[in-house]
């Protein structure tokens, strides 16, 4: 695992200094992951992967590269930001070629170029092939009330929209809680404010709610930070 400094985690940037999704460790043993914020995120907010990008039927075809591998996926709608989907996963989930998953190497306005090792084995058809792109480490604040979400980490400093930064996935940190947490017990997503957490529910498992760690020192009042041990897979 890569080592980073405390300065690295406190300096969000408008251009990436690390690979998106890269995991790293600070000298205190805490673990972090590098993300891009799709909206402003406050210190102590839980962040989740943003929704997938849908690629509807009649918008997708494919083409082979010079070696004959199907590494080009053409998106007829166009308008893609160059390399906005590099490193993300393409899932073909309907029509011709359904069931294929591939990793995107790069993209221009209308073509996704796949890593050759992830080349498609079945060509796509404009008539019915459809899919989506999993956005991975492009993140936003956790939604209100929902206790099962695609949690990525917890921001330990403010991050502006479109900035790149590390968020914490393991170790001692803090989170803003919408109610007083209980020392030694879990905390989960689902507050009435985006990005904040509430107490875990007795006898609930991971299928029912996201257990993100346990409380070390409870927050003194609602909507304030609590010191917690973060444990996000």
pLDDT of residue 64: 97
Percent over 90 (pLDDT), the chain: 95
The answer to whether the Cα torsion of 147, 211, 8, 81 is positive or negative is: negative
Angle (CA) 22 16 36, round 5°: 70
Instruction: Evaluate whether 126 touches 79 at the Cβ level (below 8 Å).
Output: no
Higher pLDDT, 19 or 99: 99
Give residue 194's domain range. 2-50+138-231
Indicate if 142 and 45 belong to the same structural domain: yes
- Looking at residue 206, its pLDDT comes to 82
In this structure, the answer to whether residues 225 and 143 fall within a common structural domain is: yes
Q: Do 125 and 60 reside in the same domain of the chain?
A: yes
Displacement of CA 62 from its chain's centroid (Å):
27
* Selection from 128, 135, 133, 8 nearest residue 57 by Cα: 128
Please indicate, yes or no, whether residues 146 and 223 belong to a single structural domain of this protein: yes
Tell whether the model's pLDDT for residue 124 goes beyond 90: yes
Residue where the block lists tokens 């790069």 = 106
Q: For residue 138, which of 83, 194, 56 has the smallest C-alpha distance? A: 83
pLDDT, residue 205, reads 85
Q: How many CB atoms lie within 10 A of CB 63?
A: 12
Query: 159 with 220, same domain?
Result: yes
pLDDT at 233: 85
The CA-to-CA distance between both ends of the chain, in Å, stands at 15
Q: What is the pLDDT of residue 1?
A: 83
Query: Is residue 129 scored above 90 in pLDDT?
Result: yes
Contact of 5 with 138, CB cutoff 8 Å: no
pLDDT, tens digit, for every residue of 142-169?
A: 999 999 999 999 999 999 999 999 999 9
The model's pLDDT over 37-95, given as tens digits with 9 standing for 90+, comes to 999 999 999 999 999 999 999 999 999 999 999 999 999 999 999 999 999 999 999 99
Tell which of 134, 158, 189 closes a domain: 134
- What is the residue-averaged pLDDT of the chain? 96
**Shared-domain flag, residues 117 and 216:** no
Q: Find the farthest-apart pair of alpha carbons in the chain and give their distance in angstroms, rounded.
A: 63
**In the chain, % of residues over pLDDT 70:** 100
Predicted model pTM: 0.90
Q: Which residue has the tokens 């930064």?
A: 165
Residue 30 has pLDDT above 90, yes or no: yes
143 and 224 in a common domain: yes
Contacts of 156 (CB under 8 A, 6+ apart): 9, 43, 44, 167, 168, 173, 174
> Does 168 share its domain with 122?
no
Task: Provide the pLDDT for residue 232.
Answer: 97
> Do 93 and 77 share a structural domain?
yes
**pLDDT at position 15 over 90:** yes
d(CA 27, CA 170): 13
At which of 134, 160, 190 does a domain end? 134
pLDDT of res. 193: 98
User: Distance between CA 84 and CA 73 in Å, rounded?
Assistant: 15
Residues 20 and 125 in one domain: no
Q: What is the CA radius of gyration of the chain?
A: 20
Structural domain ending residue among the three candidates 134, 152, 171? 134
Residue 223 and residue 169 share a domain? yes
Would you place residue 203 in the very low, low, confident or very high pLDDT band (cuts 50, 70, 90)? Answer: confident
The two tokens of residue 3 are 């080592």
Least confident range from 18-22, 96-100, 141-145: namely 18-22
**Residue 77 and residue 41 in one domain:** no
Number of domains in the chain: 2
CB 4 within 8 A of CB 29: no
């Amino acid at each position: 695992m890569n080592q980073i400094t405390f300065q690295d985690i406190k300096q969000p940037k408008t251009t990436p200094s690390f690979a998106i999704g890269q995991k790293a460790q600070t000298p205190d043993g805490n673990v972090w992951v590098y993300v891009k914020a799709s909206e402003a995120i406050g210190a102590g907010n839980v962040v989740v992967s943003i929704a997938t990008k849908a690629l509807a039927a009649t918008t997708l075809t494919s083409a082979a590269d010079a070696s004959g591998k199907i590494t080009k996926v053409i998106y007829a709608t166009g308008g893609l930001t160059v390399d906005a989907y590099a490193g993300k996963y393409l899932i073909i989930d309907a029509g011709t070629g359904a069931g294929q998953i591939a990793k995107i190497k790069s993209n221009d306005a209308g073509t996704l170029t796949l890593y050759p090792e992830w080349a498609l084995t079945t060509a796509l058809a404009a008539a019915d092939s459809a899919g989506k792109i999993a956005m991975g480490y492009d993140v936003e604040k956790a939604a209100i009330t929902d206790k099962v979400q695609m949690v990525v980490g917890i921001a330990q400093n403010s991050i502006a929209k479109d900035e790149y930064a590390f968020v914490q996935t393991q170790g001692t940190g803090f989170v803003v809680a919408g109610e007083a947490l209980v020392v030694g017990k879990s905390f989960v997503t689902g507050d009435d404010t985006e990005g904040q957490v509430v107490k875990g529910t007795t006898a609930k498992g991971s299928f029912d709610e996201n257990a993100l760690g346990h409380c070390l020192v409870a927050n003194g009042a609602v909507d304030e930070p609590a010191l917690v041990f973060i444990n996000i897979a």
